[in-house]
Amino acid sequence: YWAARRFAHDPRFAFGTWKIEILGGYTSALFLVVVAGFMVYHSVERLLAPMLIHYDQAIGIAVLGLVVNLVCAWLLRDGHGQAHHHHDGHAHHDLNLRAAYLHVLADAATSLFAIVALFGGKLWGAAWLDPVMGIIGASLVSIWAYGLLRDTSRVLIDAEMDRPVVAEVREVIAELPVAAKIADLHVWRVGRDKYACILSLVVNEPLEPDAVRQALSIHEELVHVTVEVNRHP
């Protein structure tokens, strides 16, 4: 967020600095994968070579960790909820905030799993529960990380031609007073809920690019629109 604000007016960023936030979310997802890997490694190590566990101290630390992460999750909850609102049928996500939220949830989940495992070991002597819960926690973290990697990478490599806004552009062109065929269409996200569009049309009758841009202006999420109109011989 700091970097995105600092370079917000830097002319080198053709479409603004929003993708710096997405890059932050992508990097956070990578760190989650690394954390899950360490959890699996140490859990398997503990299964193969059990170690003495000081249950009372470990439970106390796990409870403290759970409380801290629940407080953090509560503080992030409102922002995370606001970042998943709907407008004109589209869901807009603050993927950077989602990354922070998932980090906190992952920490809280692993603390909860640890508490369950430690109580099981203390009460029933099931020391194996601790590493098993570690593997379960790592699996959950991996699932969250995969979803975050998928969503952030789609934005970073502009793989979003399946978004509803693409269909809306096609609908607008189909409703133009002049028959127009789409020869080329590129839509990509340049902001949290903003898209750029490059559109090339082929027509048999005169059609001004400004008229096309005006027709597309009903969709406020289209903030950078380039239109090329080619007259068919």
Prediction pTM value: 0.79
Torsional class of 66: left (φ above 0), alpha (ψ -120 to 50), beta (otherwise): alpha
Question: What is the pLDDT, as a whole number, of residue 102?
Answer: 84
* pLDDT tens readout for residues 140-163: 889 989 999 999 999 999 999 999
Distance of CA 140 to the CA centre of its chain: 17
Sign for the CA dihedral angle at 188, 193, 194, 200 comes to positive
* pLDDT tens readout for residues 102-144: 888 888 988 999 999 999 988 988 889 989 999 998 998 899 8
One digit per residue, pLDDT tens: the chain, 233 residues?
899 999 999 999 999 999 999 999 999 999 999 999 999 999 999 999 988 889 999 999 999 999 999 999 888 876 555 544 444 434 346 888 888 888 888 889 889 999 999 999 889 888 899 899 999 989 988 998 999 999 999 999 999 999 999 999 999 999 999 999 999 999 999 988 899 999 999 999 999 999 999 999 999 999 999 999 999 87
